[in-house]
Structure 1
Amino acid sequence: MKLNIVPAGAGLKWARQGMRTFWRQPLAMSGLFFIFMATVSLVSVVPFIGGALALVVLPALTLGMMAATQIASEGKFPMPSVLFSAFKAGAHRKTMFHLGGWYALIFLAVMLVSTLVDGGTFAKVYFGGAPMTPEVVSTDSFQAALWVSMLLYLPLSMMFWHAPALVHWYGMPAGKSLFFSLMACWRNLKAFVVYVIVWFVVFMAAGTVSLLVTSLLGDPQLMMAVFMPMALMVAAMFFTSMLFSVRDCFSTEAVDESSRPPAASD
């Protein structure tokens, strides 16, 4: 396997490829993302362990969205079952659960650090144990815990960005996949910065359009009714674009071509 170094402009290309692939199968990709969110929500309500269990399945479900993107990029309709590809019997299913376990442990460690900053208020709000009120959000301790959590989540996100794909398609063990994912993001940091900026602009544009629509309708109460579907659509596009960063950052001749994400033209 070879780690590729890509130019900063690759970040824009990944976003464009994700949007283009989404619009090839908009109903399928939107539906799969809805199932993704619904699955996480259902798992999270399991008594006592729901929150941690939801974190465990996140890498596997993210891989499912990548697998759906691969199918959609070929002009085919991804069926709902593809979202659960990582859970099917195979050589890498156990490794994928190991990956999910690491994600849950590290994420909970980040939340634990945040409790040392504000006494656990941010963690309670995040996990739904406390309401998010303007009074709570505006406190200095909450803001500090928020920024500390965001700072610590960045390396976590980099470690797990490519890891599900590296386990599923490239056959890597969990620890090795985390290392190579972190290195890929770090070595291609400029491209990922551009990528994040592009999606931030797209998300803000969606919010602006929603505001304009509700203003034209003359009913501010419709803001969330307009914004939420648009935000979910943009989020689905974002997840659709993730696969293209894997395709650009990694290449291999050691793995059979049928078992890896095929290269795609821009």
Structure 2
Amino acid sequence: MDKLVAREGWEWVKRGFGLFRKQPLGLASLFFGYLLLTFWLGLVPLVGKLLSYMLVPFFTVAFMQGCANAEQGKPVRPALLLTGFRSPALPSLLKLGVVYLAMAVVAISASTLIDGGMLVQVLLRQVEPDSPEAKASSLGPAILFTGFTQLIGFVMLAFSGPLIHWKRMPAGKAVFYSVFGIINATKPFMVFALAWFGISALISQLLFFIFGGSTAWQAVLVPMSLLYTITAFCSFFAIYCRLFGAPVVEAVKQAPANEA
């Protein structure tokens, strides 16, 4: 992988918008389908939360496959959410899911240094988040710490799932190349992150200027935030293609004309 110039980060952002415009409904269906699944899993105490971490690489593979389909003018349907489970690389994806789970557990465990274990008790539903004990603790900073730590980890591993699925790499090798690829592209990735932060802040301020601090502002801000989050995920496909090459999507086999 060659060293990349910083301005490529902005090109990734623009390509993300272009890709989303090709099949907005299909890509949005993948995103919201995953959100719905994680919501259902969240209803199961502890086990559901752990499973949601293990499913992150499967969603990554599904969404990247959706982006590849959109890039090549192929349909993007909710059934793509099962791409990882149908992949010949399923065992390696399951191992990667364990890596995601371990990373999340480490981040949550480290948060006990901030709040004395209150976040863990809330996740185990031993304490309600709005209870006096929780309000008196450092639960808020612990949540921010955990969220930020997990975000960094998820970004560093973002390409490991697609590398397993498309290039048939073992889990360990895929993790290494994903992390190394992002480190190698530090400058453009910083531009990429700052650009999306700026877009997020600009949209929020613009909507606030139009609607003020009313309920309407919040009602519009949430769907807008979801839309540019989906577009940001599309940008990750652009990054993958730049770092590792565009995936080869197999053509759909058609039956011979004389076949019944």
Identify the TM-score tier after normalising by the shorter chain: 0.7 to 0.9
- Is 1:159–2:156 an aligned residue pair? yes
CA deviation string 1:181-222 (max 9, x = no partner): 11111111111111111111111122123213323xxx7122
Q: Which of 84, 88, 100 matches 1:91?
A: 88
Unaligned runs of 5+ in 1: 260-266
Q: Counterparts of 1:72 and 1:31 in 2: how far apart (Å)? A: 13
Percent identity of equivalent pairs: 25
Name 1:240's counterpart in structure 2: 234
Q: 1:221 to 1:131 in 2, by over 3 A?
A: farther
Count of aligned positions: 248
Q: 1:96 to 1:193 in 2, by over 3 A?
A: same
- Is 1:201–2:198 an aligned residue pair? yes
Name 1:33's counterpart in structure 2: 31
Q: Counterparts of 2:121 and 2:11 in 1: how far apart (Å)? A: 38
Q: Which of 60, 81, 98 matches 1:101?
A: 98
Helix, strand or coil at the partner of 2:55: helix
The TM-score with structure 2 as length reference comes to 0.84
- Is 1:63–2:57 an aligned residue pair? no
Helix, strand or coil at the partner of 1:230: helix
Q: 1:221 to 1:251 in 2, by over 3 A?
A: closer
Q: Which amino acid aligns with 1:244?
A: A
Whether the 8 Å CA contact 2:70–2:76 is kept in 1: the answer is: yes
Which one has the largest radius of gyration? 2
Q: 1:188 to 1:194 in 2, by over 3 A?
A: same
Q: Counterparts of 1:203 and 1:244 in 2: how far apart (Å)? A: 19
Whether the 8 Å CA contact 2:84–2:165 is kept in 1: the answer is: yes
Helix, strand or coil at the partner of 1:7: coil
Unaligned runs of 5+ in 2: 251-260
Name 1:264's counterpart in structure 2: none
Q: Give the superposed CA RMSD.
A: 2.8
The TM-score with structure 1 as length reference comes to 0.82
1:125 Cα deviation after fit: 6.6
Of 38-47 and 105-114, the range deviating more from structure 2: 38-47
